[in-house]
């Protein structure tokens, strides 16, 4: 987690999601996971792959890499949403 130094964002900032308290970093990781699953789902639909019966799509290392790369983006987006909500 060196990106928070570069971005100058406190990733330990508390965030409440549906009555669950998490840090900004944890929330960003969950968002990155959901985005990754959405990418997989959309691609499967475009290729006519049934994800319930075909398990060849399971690539945990690729999904982990996607989450790692997407987390800084999600941190910035979430931080911007939080700051915007605080201003209004």
The residue length of the chain stands at 88
Which segments of the chain have a pLDDT < 70? Answer: 1, 3-4, 6
The whole-number pLDDT of residue 1 equals: 56
Three-state DSSP at 18 gives coil
pLDDT on residue 68: 95
The pLDDT assigned to 48 comes to 92
The two counts, helices (H) then strands (E), for the chain are 3, 2
Q: Say if residues 51 and 41 touch (Cβ distance below 8 Å).
A: yes
C-alpha dihedral, 40 to 46 to 48 to 54, nearest 10°: -10
Domain housing 31: 3-87
Number of structural domains, the chain? 1
């Amino acid at each position: 987690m060196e990106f928070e130094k570069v971005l100058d964002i406190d990733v330990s900032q508390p965030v409440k999601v549906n009555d669950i308290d998490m840090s900004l970093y944890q929330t960003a990781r969950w968002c990155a996971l959901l985005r990754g699953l959405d990418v997989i789902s959309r691609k499967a639909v475009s290729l006519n792959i049934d994800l319930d019966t075909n398990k060849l799509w399971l690539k945990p290392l690729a999904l982990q890499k996607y989450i790692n790369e997407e987390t800084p983006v999600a941190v910035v987006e979430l931080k911007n949403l939080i700051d915007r909500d605080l201003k209004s």
